[in-house]
Amino acid sequence: MSERTDFDGFDLYDPGYLADPESIWRPMRDRCPVAHSDSRGGAWLLSRHGDICAVALDPDTFSSRAGEVTGPVPAPGRELKIPPVSSDPPDHARDRRLLMPLFGKEAVAGLEPLTRRTARELVASIVTSDAVRAGHPVDAVAEYARVIPVVVTTKMLDLPAADEELFRQWTLRMLKDGAQDYAARAEAVRAIQSYFRARLHSSTPGEAGGVMGHLLRRRAEGEPLSDERIVGMCFLMLIAGIDTTWSALGSALWHLAAHPEHRRLLARRPELIPNAVEEFLRVYAPVTIGRVVTRDATIGGRTLRAGDRVVLPWAAANLDPAVHPASSEVRISAHRPRHLAFGLGIHRCLGAQLAQMELRVALEEWLTRIPEFVPASPEVRWSGGNTRGPESLPVRIPSSASAR
């Protein structure tokens, strides 16, 4: 390994890093753009836009077979298989092509009425709650941000609405608790896999709906789809569709609660909300993804060995002043910013349009009824690992909101 630097030995769960990762990335870019740590399974952390893009665009050298950013790097063949996210070429193109029809413009538009109805009902419930009437805080994450993606994903997968709380708990156990408690993660993985295996064995191509029904029909048409691939794809749709979106929405609501000028601007000019969504995604990009080195490589002057893990924080790329001047400043305008919140290259997020729609609708409905809200506490606890977002967001909402 290259000579040790002051930035080596980092901990992705250090409270300072969780609260303000840019305070770590900023000096890294100038002094040590690639840092190494042996903690939590070991990893190389990248901070520059150029290096992050280079790794993302080189799947031959940097495999997607294990995307976790903490924990032991699994041996080849022992990974959690969730195609196409965990697939490398040439399998990746085939896996991605199978799911693309589920995320097209028409499919996303078909989910917007449910998204809007859900958001509107949640907001109505919040503003008429006893807590708001009594002037008590309401947790905007628990009561709003963590609900909408679960409802939409459940519909997309054609799963029972009665199981929504189960999906929410599995997601928390796997991606929040499981990022540090590997036994909890393994337990959640087994539970989700068992759930989808049971549904697969009780489903037929003509009757099943959602993602599983789509895949079963493709198999009936001759597509060589194993049970493992079908279960893995359903697993991915459940987890990826929930946690990333609720984290992004929680971050957007946190920013608006803390920045009245932006909150009032969007309440007054809702036509700017789509652009604001992209700016929030740029600054608060929730996802950090892992890659596994397949052959020795040099990045940022450091030598990475085959089998090492590389950590790509998309937010670090978005905040690099070499690409975005005044990068950490949130600017809401008629300009729609470019960003890497959804990744880059062959693994750019399939569900980007769906997430953008959910975030847009959720903010539209919230600001229509709740144009004024403030943080109940200056302290925010952020989740870490693969996804960063507020774990809770207590806000105070004027009781007059119930009259809107």
**Residue 209 belongs to a domain with what CATH number?**
1.10.630.10
pLDDT of residue 1: 45
pLDDT of residue 336: 86
pLDDT of residue 240: 87
Residue 299 pairs with which residues in a beta bridge?
302
Residue 2 belongs to a domain: no
Alpha-carbon distance 86 to 63, whole Å? Answer: 8
Q: Which residues contact 321 (CB under 8 A, 6 or more apart)?
A: 327
Range of the domain at 113: 15-403
Alpha-carbon distance 28 to 290, whole Å? Answer: 19
Structure tokens at 390: 């507020």
Residue 302 pairs with which residues in a beta bridge?
299
Confidence of residue 166 (pLDDT cuts 50, 70, 90): very high
Q: Beta-carbon neighbour count of residue 345 at 10 Å? A: 13
Number of domains in the chain: 1
Cis peptide before 375, with omega less than 30 degrees from 0?
no
- What are residue 37's phi and psi, to 5 degrees? -145, 145
Confidence of residue 326 (pLDDT cuts 50, 70, 90): confident
Residue 8 belongs to a domain: no
pLDDT of residue 404: 67
- Write the pLDDT tens digit of every residue in 197-237: 999 998 777 777 889 999 999 999 999 999 999 999 999 99
Residue 6 belongs to a domain: no
List the end-to-end C-alpha distance of the chain, in Å, as a whole number.
61
Residue 45 pairs with which residues in a beta bridge?
35, 311
Residue 218 belongs to a domain: yes
Q: Which amino acid is at 161?
A: A
Q: pTM of the entire structure?
A: 0.95
pLDDT of residue 403: 60
What would you report as the CA-atom Rg of the chain, rounded to the nearest whole angstrom? 21
Q: Beta-carbon neighbour count of residue 330 at 10 Å? A: 16
Residue 270 belongs to a domain: yes
Residue 5 belongs to a domain: no
Task: Give me the helices (H) in 128-226, please.
Answer: 130-133, 140, 148-157, 164-171, 182-201, 210-220
Q: Which residues contact 246 (CB under 8 A, 6 or more apart)?
A: 141, 145, 146, 148, 149, 150, 389
